[in-house]
Copies of this chain bind each other. A is one copy, B any other.
Amino acid sequence: MNGAQALINTLVDGGVDVCFANPGTSEMHFVAALDTVPRMRGVLTLFEGVATGAADGYARIADRPAAVLLHLGPGLGNGLANLHNARRARVPMVVVVGDHAIHHKKYDAPLESDIDAVAGTVSAWVRRTGAVAQVGADAEAAIAASRSGAQISTLILPADVCWTDGAHPAAGVPAPSAGTPVDIGPVAEVLRSGEPAMILIGGDATRGPGLAAAARVVEATGARWLCETFPTRWERGAGVPAVDRLNYFAEGATAQLDGVKHLVLAGAKSPVSFFAYPGVPSDLVPAGCEVHVLCEQHGAAAALAALADEVAPDTVASVAAASRPELPTGTLTSMTAADVVGALLPEGAIVVDESNTSGVLLPQATAGAPAHDWLTLTGGAIGYGIPAAVGAAVAAPDRRVLCLESDGSAMYTISGLWTQARENLDVTTVIYDNGAYDILRIELQRVGAGSEPGPKALDLLDISRPAMDFVKIAEGMGVPARRATTCEEFADALRAAFDEPGPHLIDAVVPSMLG
């Protein structure tokens, strides 16, 4: 058995049986070895950022790591932005970066570069396998590190380690150990004090059990609660306790936190402004407010459950009622589009949200839709939506995936549509086609740079020259597509996409928020 075969066997034995790949010459033995391990599914992408984003989306839904296969330093570079998002999402992932054979590295061949330095910026665990005898143990350690900390493990794999015989798969990956129980006493005391308190939930507390526990706590104690701005996986809709998110804009978050004397962090980080602005504080904790850390990102649901049993033993969590907006008619705008989505969202859908400015009304329009998962842009690196939808659909073939995507963000990783077609994934992509980097037109004002923006500045935020035709782009990659300019057309297109297997794209032409 060569190193590549031992690696793949160790991966599938460790529960990692999907590999999103964009291989090159140094990974050819890995590719050849796929045929020797039937349990491993290889999913080809045309760009590495699609592979890493897909592994993120997969982990959020499957609750276990996928593997990613990348080619040398440039392949890792292309995958880096979505690895950044995955790092912030705290999802498990095993990244395999092929490298030159060990004896070849000293020659500084054209593709030689410092893989370790780049991998270190996004990976909690990095190892370079130095000999074929080590590959099984290294792969096992990569999986264990990834699963125990819900983080990225990167294994740098020289080509000769792959092609050399004499490897053995590892015996098996130990199950992640349960976290240490947290001391809920101090927070319970704070909540019983009657002083104005806010619980900010995040991490694994944004799913059913964590939400139910937090809802019981706030109902019993009178505290308020919010969810972090960019949850990894947010369960919501009819039958699920409803929570608002901390506002993206610092002004909004400050208003939400106004008057709070105790801020309890349950899996969320202490709130800070997404960007800095001249003269505006970055730290959003109100003056005089005490911050209490209940728990880290993982174990937040368990900590909240313990807290609920302590302060709200008899309280039953309220849940959102079933309720959908009326189907609107007439001109399609980001406002009316939100209502169409709310009216038609299927039961058990997975929503991948990279709609940015165009999506501001989506949460309220879908609050009473059938229960669904909502995945968000955890790290702020745009280009995550289309790839994450690939991974979510691979993880949950029995669910509909709705990817709500901005036109500007879509173009970073547009080739993910091709992988959706190749794998016949049930993904419906909606492009909010407003022809502008609208968020930047807003930010240009907010940072104080553009009270009177000049024509060159505005031109750099305008992507309508030339207009993109997303129907043609999608069809060119094998995804059926249509354009919608009215609510009726949008509703028809959404219904048709949800009814028919395989991927679809809807080019939803909406006006810019800024006119």
Contact = CB atoms under 8 A, between A and B. Distances in A.
Interface residues of A, number: 101
A88 interface: yes
Given A35-B456, A74-B379, A282-B107, A411 B80 contact: no
A359 interface: no
B411 A46 contact: yes
A397 interface: no
Nearest to A4: B449
Given A118-B121, A121-B114, A78 B453 contact: no
A255 interface: no
A361 B34 CA distance: 34
Interface in A393-452: 408, 411-412, 414-415, 418, 421-422, 439-440, 443-444, 447-450
A115 to B, nearest CB: 8
A29 interface: yes
- Taken together, the copies of this chain in the complex come to 2
Interface in A63-104: 73-75, 77-81, 83-85, 88, 100-101, 103-104
B32 A104 contact: no
Contacts of A465: 422
Contacts of A414: 414-415
A111 B466 contact: no
Interface in A29-51: 29, 31-32, 34-36, 42, 44, 46-47, 49
A171 interface: no
A115 B121 CA distance: 8
A253 interface: no
A466 B34 contact: no
A457 interface: yes
Nearest to A122: B113
A131 B383 CA distance: 32
A473 interface: yes
28 contacts: A25-B275, A25-B447, A28-B440, A31-B444, A32-B449, A32-B454, A34-B457, A44-B459, A44-B463, A46-B412, A47-B412, A73-B121, A74-B85, A78-B81, A84-B111, A104-B276, A107-B273, A108-B269, A110-B379, A111-B379, A111-B380, A113-B122, A114-B120, A117-B121, A411-B418, A421-B466, A466-B478, A468-B478
